[in-house]
Structure 1
Amino acid sequence: MNKNLQTFPILITERLTLRKLSKNDSEEILQLRSNTEINKFLDRKPSKTLEDALNFIKSIIEDESNELFYWTITKTGEDKLIGTICLFDFLGGLKKCEIGYELLTEYNCQGIMIEAAKKVIGYAIETLGLKTIDAITHKHNQSSTRLLQKLNFKKLEDAVENNPNLILFRLTT
């Protein structure tokens, strides 16, 4: 995947601005990555300190190459991160990638993630020329499953990489 972009793409929807992650987002990243409700479906080590959050941000900024788009989700006109959404694991020859997302729990059930995801998927298809987007979710993560179904992802497999708790969804254009 070759972005050929001089600057990181800022995406704007009716209510949201999706922008590049910065060190100023460390408090909210800590909230996201330490929240037990958010982390219960994710196989990752929770952040415990601001330093953990800053180290994560640093790793994302260093990884932003042709292999990762990582946006912070903010309400337009506000700078506070309320969630993140990313495209990763690009397979250029197959015109394929994976999407991931998370949202601070107080912003659930407001249509924020579907609005952000539609914009990112549109960008992936129209600008990057992708044909397939995969998403993997935990079988008990009903809100993620509902979101993917609303976005026209189709359930492919109940078990991913020999993990009976994960489900693979795919969007094909």
Structure 2
Amino acid sequence: MDTIETKRLLLRSWYISDAKDLYEYAKNPNVGLSGGWKPHESIEESAKIIETLFLGTYKCWAIVDKDSGRVIGSIAFERDSKRDKTNCMELGYALSEDYWGRGLMTEAARSVICYGFDKMGLDMITIYRNPSNIRSGRVITKCGFVYEGTLRRAYKAYNGEIRDVACYSMTRDEFNDIRKNWEL
């Protein structure tokens, strides 16, 4: 997997040795609940997630804070199941609450969006979010995604809660129009 460097971040492959850092932010209920996944209960659980998900079917980068050298989040592409016959990937991300409000996820997302269109040759990138996750909505807006609508009662969270899903997309043409305004 290619490493991506931004002004403040390094996006790189995951290692099992990152389990402690993953656990440190993923045990926080504020991080996972908005995405529908349960807080991690142990470093071992975090290691298993790295092994089975992050190093498995996902194209998932660890987000490393350059100043501290710590893994502070994740950002990934996966096949968009709602558009599985197209050249489209879904973007997902999570960030340690300690780093919220600094523009770091927007920085990471923009660099991965560039990677998706420029290196992977994607025609479209999508994002689906819990409508109550306002912070994610800000990242999506700053990146220039277009709101498509809300799928009602479309997602079942780990705790059984059925949620609406707000849908966003960006086409290659839209990306080419807005990328010149991004600071990378």
TM range (shorter): 0.7 to 0.9
CA distance in 2, matches of 1:77, 1:32: 17
Q: Give 1:34-45 correspondences, 5 Å limit.
A: 34-45=27-38
**What is aligned with 2:47?**
54
Shift of 1:160: 5.4
> CA, structure 1 residues 98+167, in 2 after alignment: closer, same or farther (shift >3 Å)?
same
Q: Deviations over 1:69-114 (max 9, x none)?
A: 1001112364310111001116685210000011101111111111
Gaps of 5+ in 2: 156-162, 173-184
The alignment status of 1:145 with 2:144, answered yes or no, reads: no
> CA, structure 1 residues 92+12, in 2 after alignment: closer, same or farther (shift >3 Å)?
farther
Larger fraction in helix: 2
CA distance in 1, matches of 2:56, 2:152: 25
**What is aligned with 2:62?**
72
CA distance in 2, matches of 1:171, 1:32: 29
Shift of 1:141: 0.6
Amino acid at match of 2:41: K
Q: How many residues align?
A: 163
Amino acid at match of 2:169: R
Q: For 1:87, which of 68, 77, 98 is the aligned residue?
A: 77
CA distance in 1, matches of 2:96, 2:16: 18
Shift of 1:62: 4.5
- The 4+ residue runs of structure 1 with deviation greater than 6 A are none
**What is aligned with 1:123?**
115
The alignment status of 1:110 with 2:110, answered yes or no, reads: no
TM-score by length of 2: 0.81
CA distance in 1, matches of 2:127, 2:97: 20
CA distance in 2, matches of 1:150, 1:62: 29
**What is aligned with 1:3?**
none
The alignment status of 1:170 with 2:169, answered yes or no, reads: yes
Gaps of 5+ in 1: 1-7
